[in-house]
Amino acid sequence: MKNLEERQREMRECNLAANTTDEAVVAPTSRKQREQSSDVNALKRKIAELEKRVLTLEAENERLRAQKTIVVERPSQKSYEDSVREQRHNFFKYSNVRRY
């Protein structure tokens, strides 16, 4: 009888040990845990989409900056003759105004 009781106790301990290791490997998830994991996955997808959008916007920003520098540099590259012609034009334009 003692052997039987000892054997039963050993089997219970063995089963409990097996159950605890199984839980560590494959833990049954509750509904709340599944909802949290789906929320986490949704947030991760949203973060990935936003990172892609940021990269797209940065590339567009660089492209627009390059266009802006081209546009800004064009008028500033006047030749000497252009600036002299503009000065003469302004002189005659405003000198005529003073006469009247």
Query: What confidence tens digit (pLDDT) does each residue in 65-79 have?
Result: 888 766 555 555 677
Instruction: Give the 3-state DSSP-derived string for 3-55, with helices as H, strands as E and coil as C.
Output: HHHHHHHHHHHHHHHHHHHHHHHCCCCCHHHHHHHHHHHHHHHHHHHHHHHHH
| Alpha-carbon gap, residue 65 to 59, rounded angstroms | 10
Predicted confidence at residue 82, as pLDDT, reads 85
| Alpha-carbon gap, residue 80 to 9, rounded angstroms | 105
Predicted confidence at residue 57, as pLDDT, reads 95
Predicted confidence at residue 100, as pLDDT, reads 52
Query: Which residue matches tokens 């991760």?
Result: 44
Structural Rg of the chain based on CA atoms: 41
Predicted confidence at residue 13, as pLDDT, reads 83
Full-model pTM: 0.38
Amino acid at site 91 = F
Residue numbers in the chain where pLDDT is lower than 50: 23-25
What are the phi and psi torsion angles at 14 (to 5°)? -65, -45
Predicted confidence at residue 43, as pLDDT, reads 93
Predicted confidence at residue 1, as pLDDT, reads 66
